[in-house]
């Protein structure tokens, strides 16, 4: 990957610190269903679940190290989108941004909504049926997508 020699002033301040980055990772872990997935994985893998978590954590650590290396070489703001655009061009950056949006925004919210309705179905067994479950999933997803954003400072 070539290091960009011309630094563009985009008017964006790169102020995310280690605390904000750490809280962002915590947000993604909790949002991914930390209260649901360990039970499902333990049921499938049995006693090998601990080993699977250790292997996955080492793999994720390697990905984080790669992001740290690339982040030290690309001076633009934009995260993975900027890294991909710098390495492979604007079209690949565009495709990556769409896929990131779809994965982190739409799919993550939908997954959290499904887990929430599944948890509610233990209290309200009628939600095990598809007909009452579908409108509740759609309504809960819509509420999650319309949540208020934090104001800019």
Residues 128-143, mean pLDDT to the nearest whole number: 78
- Nearest Cα residue to 127 out of 113, 141, 137: 137
pLDDT surpassing 80 at residue 3: no
pLDDT surpassing 80 at residue 80: yes
Q: Predicted confidence band at 140 (pLDDT cuts at 50, 70, 90)? A: confident
Tokens of 17: 């610190």
Q: Please indicate whether residue 66 or residue 30 has the higher confidence score (pLDDT).
A: 66
Q: How far apart are CA 14 and CA 70, in angstroms?
A: 15
Residues 33-61, mean pLDDT to the nearest whole number: 85
Tokens of 48: 């090998």
pLDDT surpassing 60 at residue 153: no
Domain chopping of the chain, boundaries: 17-73, 91-146
Whole-number pLDDT of residue 14:
65
Q: How many other CB atoms are there within 10 angstroms of residue 122's CB atom?
A: 9
Q: Using an 8 Å Cβ cutoff, are 127 and 136 in contact?
A: yes
Mean pLDDT of the chain: 78
Tokens of 31: 């949002």
Residues 29-48, mean pLDDT to the nearest whole number: 77
Whole-number pLDDT of residue 62:
94
Q: How many other CB atoms are there within 10 angstroms of residue 137's CB atom?
A: 18
Residues with Cβ within 8 Å of residue 94, at least 6 apart in sequence: 85
Q: Predicted confidence band at 103 (pLDDT cuts at 50, 70, 90)? A: confident
DSSP reduced 3-state for 48: helix
Q: Please indicate whether residue 109 or residue 62 has the higher confidence score (pLDDT).
A: 62
Q: How many helices (H) and strands (E) does the chain have?
A: 7, 0
């Amino acid at each position: 990957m070539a290091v960009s020699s011309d630094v563009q002033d985009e008017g964006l301040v790169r102020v995310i610190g280690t605390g904000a980055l750490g809280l962002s990772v915590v947000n993604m872990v909790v949002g991914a269903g930390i209260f649901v997935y360990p039970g499902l994985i333990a049921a499938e893998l049995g006693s090998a679940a601990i080993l699977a978590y250790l292997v996955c954590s080492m793999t994720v650590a390697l990905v984080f190290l790669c992001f740290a290396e690339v982040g030290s070489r690309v001076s633009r703001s934009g995260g993975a989108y900027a890294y991909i655009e710098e390495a492979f061009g604007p079209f690949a950056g565009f495709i990556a941004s769409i896929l990131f949006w779809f994965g982190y925004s739409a799919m993550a919210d939908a997954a959290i909504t499904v887990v929430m309705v599944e948890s509610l179905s233990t209290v309200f067994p009628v939600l095990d049926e598809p007909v009452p479950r579908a409108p509740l999933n759609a309504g809960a997803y819509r509420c999650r997508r319309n949540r208020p954003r934090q104001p800019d400072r």
